[in-house]
Amino acid sequence: MKVRYFPDTDTLLVNFSDRPIVETRDLNEDVLVELDAEGRVVSMTIEHAKQQTDVGEFSYQMAGVS
């Protein structure tokens, strides 16, 4: 999984996998979800990311793993 922020366009891109994208769905005017051929989420694009998210802080935690 890769998370990239583009400050020049205030766009946040979250890639969950490298599978080919075959469809893009608009969740709203600022959030797009890209899907593979089986309908699995490949990536999510968030425009105007500073208004939609807390771009300044990011953390990752794998919970419940022994």
Q: What is the pLDDT of residue 62?
A: 82
How many domains does one find in the chain?
1
Alpha helices of 1-66 — where are they, by DSSP H? 49-52
| Residue 27: inside a domain | yes
Q: Is residue 60 part of a domain?
A: no
Distance CA 39, CA 13 (A): 19
pLDDT digits (tens, 9 = 90+) for 1-41: 999 999 999 999 999 999 999 999 999 999 999 999 999 99
Residue 47's domain comprises 2-52
Question: Does residue 28 form part of some domain?
Answer: yes
Smallest CA-to-CA distance from 55 within 22, 17, 9, 18 is with 9
**pLDDT the model gives residue 66:** 64
Work out the average pLDDT over 30-57.
94
**From the CB of residue 27, how many other CB atoms can be counted at a distance below 10 Å?**
11
